Structure 1
């Protein structure tokens, strides 16, 4: 019979060795022993077996001496054998045509010697050492030149992450080191893997739980799996050089946020999986930087915020339902009253306000703010004008108990008391002045005193202009109010007393004061006897203008 493949299952003790089968299987290309008591193999040198599989046998070590006789052997699989603990690749035996070596799911502890593989397995393309207790890998400069696939998943690894353990595998395309207990501490962990296209390393860890420049040496990657790696941060430059990446899995980590530019260079990306993280939202910049060719995006099982501050993201989710995987598992985590609500069922109209409403609200806000600023700045002026316009100021002289309200700097108080108060109030004719240190009512706001006790109760205003006066903000304010008072009351009059030593140039520029001096009574006081006499006569004449006398005042003047 021309048999191409034979499988012997549950043979028991009948075939603990292959001696009795040698002649039978000599011309069969594929031979499989499954769940047998096979302890060793023994085939003649001229056998044509290409594919040999021994699953769940009683091997204690890989019988490299016996297997080396199979000159046509291309595929060797010895798997699921708990008793298999040793694989010695240092013996000088060669497998010239072997391309696939699968020793997964055994109990092997070994030191992986890349140079030995280069010598013994020169044609090896696929090596599977997954699900074994311990594999030690060290950095070497010489290794198998044709190895394309290496599977070490779920085997305890020593070496990778601390040293560039794969730097001699120039042609490696597929590498699986998932759940191998390694921690990536060096940026050169994957140095030398110039042809690598698929990297699976889920279930491991990174230094400081962040991806920085780990993948700068594997620029041809097309698929990357770094899920379940306890990641908390991904640097914005972590994936910068992966221009050919098609699939990225960073799910089941602890990412609170992702830099908005983390994916900006991944223009070939079609599948992105970030489910089971702690993302709150994706900003508008995140969404703008997502690859345009993205076809599958998994954002499920994150801690999404469904408040109106995340409206851009919530609206984007509804518009891109065709891209989102497991969209029904994208649920609100906050605010609490929306917890477990599906994002797809969130009513975004609740957060949307019409353009007209926004414009009206903004306009009202601007007007209110400007009004508050103006009221704050001109509060005293507005208050005074309101009092006048409301009728609180009488145009008759009935309420005028003072002849003049004196505006002056506190630094000129001595001059005011000597030259004005002492002269005008004790002389003949007798005048009564309103002086703030004496006549203002205590406990009353200053502006109220200025208006009611000053302007409201006085026929005229005397402004004592000095260098101190022009430097005082308060005096300038009182002068501005006096000008407003003069504008609103046709009988109001300002008398400017310019003290000796005031710079005329400064007087012209300061608050346009010079223009007011030309329109009102303008007296200059000089500290000389003749000038003082003339000054006093002119001042009294200005105060007498429009003054009415009571009988008591006339009787008092006649007696003097």
Structure 2
């Protein structure tokens, strides 16, 4: 038994060990051995209780101030050592003795400056297997450069340091003439890079050079010592006054080379306010065969018309990045020659801020108003994102030679206009039009969408609700589309035909909308594997939809559903949904645990509600049976009451039933049954027009018409309310004259309510009321009560006109034979 326990402890120790110092040791397949992680343990010295066979040791972000002699001598197998982010200030000469197998040493510490006092001679002489050395610290502007730091490093391949010898001499680098391939000078510390700055690297097979710093100028021959250079990365710090033309002139030394990349990002800082890429600059690059050129973020405003000419540079370039500049419409005359870049595959013009894509007619105009615009024949990626933030992106041109274009990014522009006749991009795989204002016909061009696999339409705006248009679907047939992103579009509803043409869709994002339900059309997509519904307004998923989601897992092997950001309902009615979340085979984000609101309004989560499922079930079932018992008792009492009333009032009930069956039918009312043809209702302060105009004109049209005007016919000394209701009941039609202050009269308000009530008690009454709008503003018309408009048909609402035809029309509407009796 004791032997078995001992073996178990040994096995566990081999898997993961925790030393007294708090370090963790485990086996790493990447490092091919055991590694110890001592990060952030507040160590002030190298731990002595670590395993002796470790191949990696990470001491970053501790409190080490010095590395004493033989600090690592017991770790003879160590191949990786990380000492960065420590307050080191003292390194003893034999600090790294015994590390003959060390391959990587990283020591980026702000307290260490690159000088002979910090790095004693022979400090790294024992590191005969070192391949990568990182010594990034504080800048040493006054101390002597430690040229002996490479002593003994016969296999060094990568060196990352701060500063560089000011005279350019470093004879000890001769030891690395067969190995050093990468040099990264984080801050070069030399204001002018001259012909001798890099003379020490003349015989070094350097392939990658990366330097940064505040530089005033770069002389023409600065890069001549590099015979094997393939990657040049220059990033000048703020305050550099180097002209862009000076950099391109210095690159002329690389003529005849085959290079992988030249990165000139942010090289224009304070020296120039704007840059024009001239024919002279491209002339310096003409004989360089480089695959990737990055000149982003350099205040470039334009490219001269003849700058792009047929040359070795133009024929070799595959990746061109002009993003984050100040490019304007003047780029386009030069861009028409980009077709010469026969191998160009990647072109980034994003964030140009002032590009305008609506071309003038001075070029070869097509019959349909567009422009033939040849692009590089092998271009596969074109990024125009944020290139016209203040302009209309109008693609009114025909892009020829675009068969290889597979990625097109128009996102984050103002307005997109793609005419249906645009002939290009028939093999497009990815189209991004996010963060734009788009119209309903944006996808009328079927040439661009036939082979689309990814379509990004998130965070867009439109004048109309394009996704719920009842006439036609927003998207046309996209038979190869596998990913669609419609997130952030404020959608509340999606028309059932919107997504009907996506038979191969696998990934659909509807995140950050206001959907309160999962559109059932989506659940009919047979190949769907990922559905993102995060941050919507879902409160529950129905049982039918749960079944359809489970079917995805059965049919496709897996299905991922993302629901975080929705506030669900945790109540008796959603018990089935909460149980489904925790038991379904659908892969849910956040392990199926989401925020939810309980019945009492408090916030909880679905996992907690599910954990108390038995209690919740009993509570819900108890509520159901309590409600059922109450309803049953009410039904029994109601039955007894009905039986009692039926027995007591049988004759009246019988009489009513007989009437309903058609016995003793009533005669339909006629106009002759009423004392008055029309009751004229008006505001008392506005009596002049009804009494002196309407009362006089209508008899002229129809002599003998019987009109009731309150000011003329109301008897004196009687209750006005009773008189009004009696007059309304005795009138065939009611004419209400609406004026600006009509509803402020209390008796008028009473009359309107009485009219509506008398209309509602007899559903046989139709077209009884006529409304006359007399000198009413739009604001006054908006205040007319809905209860009055509900009982008046549109043809009985008239505007008063002082015209004979108006009186004739009004008289006809009063005297027509529509039934209007009140009983």
TM-score range, shorter chain: 0.5 to 0.7
Q: Is 1:66 paired with 2:331?
A: no
Q: Is 1:16 paired with 2:245?
A: yes
* 8 Å Cα contact 1:39/1:57 also seen in 2: no
| Structure-2 separation of matches of 1:166 and 1:344 | 53
Partner of 2:568: 304
| Structure-2 separation of matches of 1:357 and 1:19 | 87
| Structure-1 separation of matches of 2:568 and 2:422 | 40
Partner of 1:77: 321
Structure with the bigger RCO (C-alpha within 8 Å, sep 6+) is 1
Partner of 1:4: 230
Partner of 1:436: none
Tell me the CA shift for residue 357 of structure 1. Answer: 9.1
| Structure-2 separation of matches of 1:59 and 1:74 | 20
Secondary structure of the 1:50 match is strand
1:352 to 617, 639, 654: 617
* 8 Å Cα contact 1:234/1:262 also seen in 2: no
* 8 Å Cα contact 1:109/1:135 also seen in 2: no
Partner of 1:119: 374
2:263 to 32, 35, 58: 32
Tell me the CA shift for residue 341 of structure 1. Answer: 0.6
* 8 Å Cα contact 1:301/1:329 also seen in 2: no
Cα distance change, pair 45–27 in 1 and its aligned pair in 2 (3 A): same
Partner of 1:254: 514
| Structure-2 separation of matches of 1:378 and 1:103 | 86
Counterparts of 1:210-225 in structure 2, within 5 Å, are 210-211=467-468, 213-225=473-485
Secondary structure of the 2:547 match is helix
2:354 to 79, 83, 108: 108
1:55 to 290, 293, 296: 296
* 8 Å Cα contact 1:85/1:106 also seen in 2: no
* 8 Å Cα contact 1:233/1:258 also seen in 2: no
Tell me the CA shift for residue 3 of structure 1. Answer: 1.9
Q: What are the ranges of 5 or more consecutive residues in structure 2 without an aligned counterpart?
A: 1-226, 269-274, 360-365, 651-657, 659-823
Cα distance change, pair 185–334 in 1 and its aligned pair in 2 (3 A): farther
Deviations 1:47-67 (A, max 9, x none): 322221112224221356333
Cα distance change, pair 62–126 in 1 and its aligned pair in 2 (3 A): farther
Q: Is 1:200 paired with 2:456?
A: yes
Tell me the CA shift for residue 126 of structure 1. Answer: 0.9
Tell me the CA shift for residue 106 of structure 1. Answer: 2.4
* 8 Å Cα contact 1:97/1:123 also seen in 2: yes
Deviations 1:153-200 (A, max 9, x none): 22223315xx548663211101111112x1332374463310001111
Secondary structure of the 1:317 match is helix
Secondary structure of the 1:60 match is strand
Tell me the CA shift for residue 265 of structure 1. Answer: 2.6
Partner of 1:156: 414
Deviations 1:328-351 (A, max 9, x none): 77212353x243210121133345
Secondary structure of the 2:524 match is coil
| Structure-2 separation of matches of 1:101 and 1:367 | 76
Q: TM-score, normalised by structure 2?
A: 0.41
Cα distance change, pair 210–330 in 1 and its aligned pair in 2 (3 A): farther
| Structure-2 separation of matches of 1:329 and 1:165 | 50
Cα distance change, pair 187–309 in 1 and its aligned pair in 2 (3 A): farther
Partner of 2:786: none
| Structure-1 separation of matches of 2:399 and 2:243 | 44
Q: CA RMSD in A?
A: 3.9
Deviations 1:447-505 (A, max 9, x none): 9xxxxxxxxxxxxxxxxxxxxxxx9xxxxxxxxxxxxxxxxxxxxxxxxxxxxxxxxxx
Cα distance change, pair 243–355 in 1 and its aligned pair in 2 (3 A): same
Deviations 1:121-159 (A, max 9, x none): 222111011122245233556642221101122222331
Partner of 1:340: 603
Deviations 1:502-538 (A, max 9, x none): xxxxxxxxxxxxxxxxxxxxxxxxxxxxxxxxxxxxx
Cα distance change, pair 178–342 in 1 and its aligned pair in 2 (3 A): same
Tell me the CA shift for residue 101 of structure 1. Answer: 0.9
Tell me the CA shift for residue 6 of structure 1. Answer: 1.3
| Structure-2 separation of matches of 1:370 and 1:20 | 98
* 8 Å Cα contact 1:68/1:94 also seen in 2: no
| Structure-1 separation of matches of 2:292 and 2:465 | 46
Tell me the CA shift for residue 315 of structure 1. Answer: 1.6
Name the structure with the higher helix share: 1
| Structure-2 separation of matches of 1:247 and 1:380 | 65
Tell me the CA shift for residue 118 of structure 1. Answer: 5.2
| Structure-2 separation of matches of 1:78 and 1:105 | 9
Deviations 1:27-58 (A, max 9, x none): 14222212223643323644322221112224
| Structure-2 separation of matches of 1:254 and 1:165 | 35
Secondary structure of the 2:579 match is helix
Cα distance change, pair 68–218 in 1 and its aligned pair in 2 (3 A): farther
Q: Tell me which structure has the larger Cα radius of gyration.
A: 1
Tell me the CA shift for residue 254 of structure 1. Answer: 1.6
Q: What are the ranges of 5 or more consecutive residues in structure 1 without an aligned counterpart?
A: 384-444, 448-470, 472-560
